[in-house]
Amino acid sequence: MPDERRAAARMPDAGRILVIAPNWLGDAVMALPAIADVRRHHAAAHLTVAARASVVPMFELAGGLDQMITLQWKGGLLDRAGVAADTAALRAGSFDVAVLLPNSFASAWLARQAGVPERWGYARDARSWLLTRPVAAPGGSRHQAAYYQHLTREFGAPAGPLEPRLTAAAADLESARAGLAARGWTGMRPLVALAPGAAYGTAKRWLPAHYARLVSELVTAHGATCVLVGGGVDASAAREVYETAAAGARPHIIDLAGATPLRMLAGVLSLARACVSNDSGAMHVAAALGTRVVALFGPTRDKETAPLGHASHPATVLIHDVWCRPCMLRECPIDHRCMAGLQPARVLTAVVDAVERSA
């Protein structure tokens, strides 16, 4: 963008700025550095984030926001009630500018329907005509967080550290301790969180038998308590891990998958000395909370969506590098070799190291 156009596109130093957040939890966490850039550069502005209900609690842990709006509409063409509710909520905010982090047509349409006069975002999904400041998407491969920062930098907010930050509140930690204590954790054994699910598809999931072997070793040989975490869609994966684990280890395996609201999950992850996770939202939340993360990547691009841990203890990313990865498929059409070949012994070594470093 030429200098004169870049200057014209700058956000107001004071005013009302709306950021429409990505829809998925992991993407929303990766958007935090860009949102922090906007907050830092426009300290006097009123900054609001609009996000889906599943993501809003995460932003409550981020700080720096003046307001959050929970969006109802999920993009369905026939959901008139959702469109009407969101349009009314955004219109009531009297925003000067909307920064659209999703690439979707729906987010641009919503901002226009709400009468936001300036609508800035990437020129994707045939929506350029809905934007007042369309930006060409950057070429090449880059981390998703850097992709979001490229957009906000185009509008005058210099890029800061690529380091999402979340902080669990005291009430979240207390809720987590109570839930764990009710299931037998006394706090005497180191807590290791494991997230065996993944919303994208089974191809992203490390084998349940591998997870079962890992938790069995952590409990019996390293004196840990293992807590299985995730959303409701991950409950069956967690249950399979629990039932496949060695019988002698099960008294120190706690299954909380599907049983924790997001803020309680943040409390659990904050109490954990380490977190083992597939490429998932829980992985990104754990890293942003400062928990040491061992991330297991199979079919997805680790260079674009690896967890961004704190600078003092970056995440460990493990892959089994085979010719067919990263395929980006939801289901593996062959033998799932990228995940099957990632051996439990290798993961165990990384987890034990993470636990020791967090002591």
Nearest to 288 by CA among 70, 74, 35, 23: 35
Predicted pLDDT at 359: 79
CATH annotation of 3-154:
3.40.50.2000
Q: What are phi and psi of 26, to 5 degrees?
A: -60, -45
Distance CA 117, CA 112 (A): 8
Q: From residue 68, give the alpha-carbon distance in Å to each of 18, 23, 60, 89.
A: 9, 14, 8, 11
Q: From residue 317, give the alpha-carbon distance in Å to each of 277, 294, 350.
A: 10, 6, 9
pLDDT in tens, the chain (359 residues): 444 444 445 666 669 999 999 999 999 999 999 999 999 999 999 999 999 999 999 999 999 999 999 999 887 777 889 899 999 999 999 999 999 999 999 999 999 999 999 999 999 999 999 999 999 999 999 999 999 999 999 999 999 999 999 999 999 999 999 999 999 999 999 999 999 998 778 999 999 999 999 999 999 999 999 999 999 999 999 999 999 999 999 999 999 999 999 999 999 999 999 999 999 999 999 999 999 999 999 999 999 999 999 988 899 999 999 999 999 999 999 999 999 999 999 999 999 999 999 97
289 token code pair = 């909370």
Distance CA 137, CA 6 (A): 15
- The β-bridge partners of 20 are 50, 100
Distance CA 124, CA 103 (A): 6
One-letter amino acid identity for 198? A
The answer to whether the beta carbons of residues 100 and 31 sit under 8 Å apart is: no
The answer to whether the beta carbons of residues 123 and 137 sit under 8 Å apart is: yes
The answer to whether the beta carbons of residues 120 and 9 sit under 8 Å apart is: yes
Predicted pLDDT at 14: 63
Common-topology check for domains 3-154 and 171-358? yes
Predicted pLDDT at 2: 44
Nearest to 99 by CA among 60, 142, 149: 149
Predicted pLDDT at 303: 96
Q: Are strands 293-297 and 316-319 parallel, antiparallel or unpaired?
A: parallel
Where along the chain do its domains lie? 3-154, 171-358
- The β-bridge partners of 297 are 319
Q: Model pTM? A: 0.94
**Class at the top of the CATH hierarchy for domain 171-358:** alpha beta
